[in-house]
Amino acid sequence: GQQLNQSPQSMFIQEGEDVSMNCTSSSIFNTWLWYKQDPGEGPVLLIALYKAGELTSNGRLTAQFGITRKDSFLNISASIPSDVGIYFCAGLLRGGGSNYKLTFGKGTLLTVNP
């Protein structure tokens, strides 16, 4: 099935560093979502974006919905060890016949060295 292009695939950073990851698609979405998945758990929603150009923050997380509606990025500032995990972007097309069907990226594995 279709998946979004997410990069980088993995990142190794030191505690306290900032992190940036992004997602692109050949298709337009009108909702972009960012999830975090810990080992043995399901994805948990971090941030949802509903408008092109929207910039939203949730604590140390900031995400933006690209103007073209085909991309999004997630920034994590001042990383801490518990930020370790896999981060997924997901797109959703509201208003269409399949406005429940999340399309996910392949994920970015984040490792934070204390």
Partner 1 sequence: GAGVSQTPSNKVTEKGKYVELRCDPISGHTALYWYRQSLGQGPEFLIYFQGTGAADDSGLPNDRFFAVRPEGSVSTLKIQRTERGDSAVYLCASSLMHGVNEQFFGPGTRLTVL
Binding mask 11-50 for partner 1 (x = CB under 8 A): --------------------x--------xxxxxx--x-x
The size of the interface with partner 1 (CB under 8 A), counted in residues, is 27
Burial 48-83 (b: 16+ CB within 10 A, else e): bbeebeeebeeeebbbbbbeebbbbbbebeebeeeb
- The gap between the terminal CA atoms of the chain, to the nearest Å, is 37
- Under the binding rule (CB under 8 A), the answer on residue 3 touching partner 1 is yes
Q: How far is the CB of 1 from partner 1 (least distance, A)?
A: 5
HSE-CB of 16 using CA atoms within 13 angstroms? 1
Q: Report the candidate in 21, 25, 1 with the shortest Cα–Cα distance to residue 91.
A: 25
User: Based on CB atoms, which residue is closest to partner 1, 14 or 26?
Assistant: 26
- Under the binding rule (CB under 8 A), the answer on residue 102 touching partner 1 is yes
User: Based on CB atoms, which residue is closest to partner 1, 40 or 114?
Assistant: 40
HSE-CB of 63 using CA atoms within 13 angstroms? 27
- Interface residue with partner 1 among 27, 58, 99, 111 (CB under 8 A) is 99
Interacting residues with partner 1 (CB under 8 A): 1, 3-4, 6, 31, 40-45, 48, 50, 88, 90, 92, 94, 98-107
